[in-house]
Structure 1
Amino acid sequence: MALSMQTPVCLVDNGPDGHMRVQQEALQILEQIQQPVVVVAVVGLYRTGKSYLMNRLAGKHTGFALGSTIESKTKGIWMWCVPHPSKPGNTLVLLDTEGLGDVDKGDSKHDTQIFSLAVLLSSTLVYNSRGTIDNRAVEDLQYVTELAEYIKVKSSDEDGDDSEFVKVFPSFIWAVRDFTLERKIDDKDATEDEYLDFALKLKPGNSKKVNDHNLPRECIRKYFPSRKCFTFPFPSRPEDVIRLETLSQSEMAPEFLEVTERFCTFVFNQSPVKQLKDGHTVDGRILGHLMKMYVETMSSGGVPCLENAVVAMAQIENEAAVKEGLEVYESGMAQLTIYFPVDLRDITAEHQRLNSLATEVFIKRSFKDDEGKHIKSLEEAVNKLFSRFLQQNEEASVQKCKKVLTGLSAPLRERLQQGFYMKPGGYQLYCQDMEDIVKKYKSQTQLGVKAEDVLEEFLKQRKEESSAILQADQSLSARDKQICA
């Protein structure tokens, strides 16, 4: 289903113990999103205007807190889910992260965790900085060099394999804000992307200074082979930057609006749907599972492993898929019980129909059930339930048949109590009444699968009674003959 939030909500914050925690309200929102998600996360130093870009992607001027002081406004990670503006059937999930390098916080490990979460969750990562892409700007992106320590792709991958990271990492956009320089390389005009590639150029040599210079650039080039750059001029007069939220379009520089429009169009058209390493499409519910697992792992001091996360998520999703399938089957069969007893063909036909429906529901939600363990579990559970419904149908049949026979045999029991059959020829009268009961019983409809068994038991119970009447009849008839003689 499509879901549109009016305002962002907090997705991740810090608990009283200082560890990150996922907000339940945000998970409940993600749980409702059954569409594929395009996840765009923005990261960067605090007070660089990240939130403004995210508001524009949401089609709003306000929403994510911008702030106008040196204090970082965004804490943790905030989330805003809106219908995708150019891809019907998809939901755009915007993640605005806490500003990195906040002097008040002074926690580089926390910053790296926030950065790592943004990388793990997004399909497009926007890195926001101010000024120029100089050596300091690249060094400020030090978190890229630490990703291998904070993320593992495979459970057996001890050292981290760059080629594996590329398969799961998002596309990368560097948004340079308040850019005032001319984009020239060797006195020639350069595009934004050429400017970025030039800034990430490696120096030759193996000295420590050269290696320190090259390391963050190597990491960016390896981890994010798909790169794009946008250079934003000042949005208006420098003194107006602090009130971006309240500035009207007419008060902003046309050049700034033009780059903003290009940026949004590129994100909308080029940001891919979030996928797992094996190409499985991620919806809101799966994104919530991933977020919860990653945060819990980091908070416990562990390193998120994508392979383990997928395995754990598959277990959760497949168990839920089995439960959903069973609920469809059980609720459908429960509706049939109000008509019990029914013919064996009818209950079997409904079982087969609902079993197919339950399998469809399972397949729709199931995830990487490669060995068929969970589909087999569903089949076993359905067959177990079917046996229970068969038993209920049989019990209902027995109850109805007994009730019918009790009603039909009431006159016969009354005659027995009155001694009606205790006379010569009484046995023949008794047999005629019994035949009449059987005839009327067999003419009844919807007695169910136990009709013959219950009748057989009924007749079996009458044998002693029948023998007694026969003996009495024979005795009385003999005495009558003696009297006549």
Structure 2
Amino acid sequence: MVEEIKPSAIQVIKPLLVTEDEEEKTKYELQVEALESLLTDKEVADLPVSVISVTGAFRTGKSFLLNYLLRYLTALEKEESEDQWLGDFDQELEGFKWRRGADPETSGIMAWNKVFVIEPIPGQKQAILLLDTQGAFDLDSDVKDITLIFALSTMLSSIQIYNVRGNLQTDNLQHLQLFTEFGRQAIAQDVSDSQPFQNLLFLVRDWQLDDSEGFDGGSQLLEKLMKITPKMNDEKRELREHVKSCFKSIRGFLMSHPGDAVRKGEFKGETSKLHPDFVSNMKTLVPELLNLPDVKVDTAGNPLSCAELCDYFKKYTAIFQNEEMPETVTIMEATAEVNHHMAVQKAKASFKQEIDEIIPKQLGYLQANAFDEKSQEVMTKALSVFDGTKRMLSKKYGPKFRHDLESELVSDIEQKRKLNDERRAAKLVQTPLIIIVALFVCWFAIFILEMLWLSPVAAFVNVLSTLLIGGILVWLADQSNLIPGGFPVQQIIDMIAELLRDNILKPMAGVAMNGIRQANPDVARIIQQVAAPKGDKED
């Protein structure tokens, strides 16, 4: 006679404490024999399987919820009335181990040692496997342990229930981003779909912020949290885009508090002692999850049988034992990188504002030495902004981010220097040409004035021409580096040339053109066409 196996939770992935290089580490070992006896049994081996996993922080009621799923599945197998699945309201809650208190109850990944068989559609049998996971953020687990367990359960489940207490907030998304990214990297070689995981349900426990509840309330909360707005910064936008890109379906459910009875030591899970709103929520949630649960599929979308799921357990566990897998980072490290990235952006914003203003708009350029001096001041100020921003783990991340920032600023300065040199080179041609033209105008004016017996005026113009010659000589000396540095000779002469052009040469050219236009319009038109800018000619 075959001894009947008592229904209970069994460990399928077990944590083992090992010592490597005088350091204690946790490794996770697949309990192959227990798993094979569960999933390769001839009654279920070839059936398509739905895997429902519950994960989240420790002591948030994961095992408590799974026991209600057990009750419902047991009622389905016995073909009991759907309204009666909760059974005797005074019955103690049994199944996965649970209890009140601050200490975690589950370690590794547990599975119910019975695969349930249901017929969600008449004539089509389907297996259901329930998984309970080690609670996150307990005192004994490090981030690598938490990440590995969460990633494994997400990779193996068709429905991942993420238990959250009190409210769904951005930090929950940040944790989810860390865990799912690790899992996504683990199966990257197999992923053909942009969304590698199947269904995610955010189950918000002890919801008391307003009167909303259930799937409707969860949908509203999730829509508000996941909404991407035009003014949202890159960090928040990328976080939400990442979570959306990981799951084919994301839902939310708001579960009210179970009532004061659960805080008392004598509470054993009796439904009669729970708050009616909590019981009502449970009556809505559990059937919705189990009446037509999605079958677990592989990365190509093919449904998996129980026997095939067993192979995936082995495959995925082996992946995480591979030393080539990327190391996880702590939430603090991830936050520190974001801190440093924001400090870099702040420094770059300061730099851009300052560097755009160092070249005077009127003149359009700076002398080479003046440009070097001012650009160095701007870069020093930007680096001071970075250094002055409070950053987590600055000793670890600071040097790298500062070096990358400095390299980027130097590159920007070189681009600005090139523009400055081009403008300065243009002035090197324009300025002497204007002064020479002004000099010839003066000599022509002197000739005309002498002929008109206006010698005093001619003498004044002659002084001006002498000053222009002096200006040319000083300009040539400056270009030949014969004048000591520090005095902006070229800039002063360039400004004088611009004054001559705008206040003397242009008005005189206008008067001359009016005279030619009156004397011979055709000649005036030809001169105007030759002298017009290229854009005006095309028009």
The TM-score, its normalising length taken from structure 2, stands at: 0.49
Judge conservation of contact 2:109–2:132 (CA < 8 Å) in 1. yes
Shift of the alpha carbon at 1:244? 9.4
Q: Determine the C-alpha separation between the residues in 2 that align with 1:292 and 1:56.
A: 29
Shift of the alpha carbon at 1:213? 2.8
Distance verdict in 2 for CA 1:149–1:39, change over 3 Å:
closer
Q: Determine the C-alpha separation between the residues in 2 that align with 1:229 and 1:7.
A: 29
Which residue pairs with 2:27 in the alignment?
Answer: 19
Which residue pairs with 2:200 in the alignment?
Answer: 172
Matched, 1:36 2:65: no
Distance verdict in 2 for CA 1:241–1:233, change over 3 Å:
farther
% same residue: 25
Judge conservation of contact 1:202–1:214 (CA < 8 Å) in 2. yes
List gaps (5 residues or longer) in structure 1.
Answer: 156-160, 305-485
Count of residue correspondences: 287
Which residue pairs with 2:378 in the alignment?
Answer: none
Distance verdict in 2 for CA 1:190–1:171, change over 3 Å:
closer
Provide, for residues 78-132 of structure 1, a one-character-per-residue CA deviation record: whole Å limited to 9, x for no partner.
0013324553622210111101111222x11121111111111111110001001
Equivalent residue runs for 1:76-225 within 5 Å: 76-80=108-112, 81-85=114-118, 87=120, 89-105=125-141, 107-144=142-179, 146-147=181-182, 150-154=185-189, 164-166=193-195, 168-182=196-210, 191-205=217-231, 210-225=233-248
Tell me the SS of whatever aligns to 1:259. helix
Judge conservation of contact 2:55–2:162 (CA < 8 Å) in 1. yes
List gaps (5 residues or longer) in structure 2.
Answer: 19-25, 75-92, 327-539
Which residue pairs with 1:437 in the alignment?
Answer: none
Q: Determine the C-alpha separation between the residues in 1 that align with 2:203 and 2:303.
A: 27
Provide, for residues 127-147 of structure 1, a one-character-per-residue CA deviation record: whole Å limited to 9, x for no partner.
001001123333343434533
Q: Determine the C-alpha separation between the residues in 2 that align with 1:154 and 1:225.
A: 19
Equivalent residue runs for 1:309-388 within 5 Å: none
Tell me the SS of whatever aligns to 1:246. coil
Alignment RMSD, CA only? 2.9
Matched, 1:230 2:253: yes
User: Which of 34, 46, 71 is the aligned partner of 2:58?
Assistant: 46
Q: Determine the C-alpha separation between the residues in 2 that align with 1:51 and 1:175.
A: 13
Distance verdict in 2 for CA 1:154–1:178, change over 3 Å:
same
The TM-score, its normalising length taken from structure 1, stands at: 0.54
Which residue pairs with 1:402 in the alignment?
Answer: none
Q: Determine the C-alpha separation between the residues in 2 that align with 1:153 and 1:301.
A: 16
Which residue pairs with 1:463 in the alignment?
Answer: none
Which residue pairs with 2:283 in the alignment?
Answer: 261
Shift of the alpha carbon at 1:26? 2.4
Q: Determine the C-alpha separation between the residues in 2 that align with 1:54 and 1:203.
A: 37
Distance verdict in 2 for CA 1:52–1:4, change over 3 Å:
farther
Tell me the SS of whatever aligns to 2:128. strand
Judge conservation of contact 1:30–1:284 (CA < 8 Å) in 2. yes
Distance verdict in 2 for CA 1:148–1:69, change over 3 Å:
closer
Q: Determine the C-alpha separation between the residues in 2 that align with 1:203 and 1:113.
A: 32
Distance verdict in 2 for CA 1:145–1:77, change over 3 Å:
closer
Provide, for residues 56-88 of structure 1, a one-character-per-residue CA deviation record: whole Å limited to 9, x for no partner.
111173221223221111100000133245536
- The AA in structure 1 aligned to 2:252 is C
Provide, for residues 399-447 of structure 1, a one-character-per-residue CA deviation record: whole Å limited to 9, x for no partner.
xxxxxxxxxxxxxxxxxxxxxxxxxxxxxxxxxxxxxxxxxxxxxxxxx
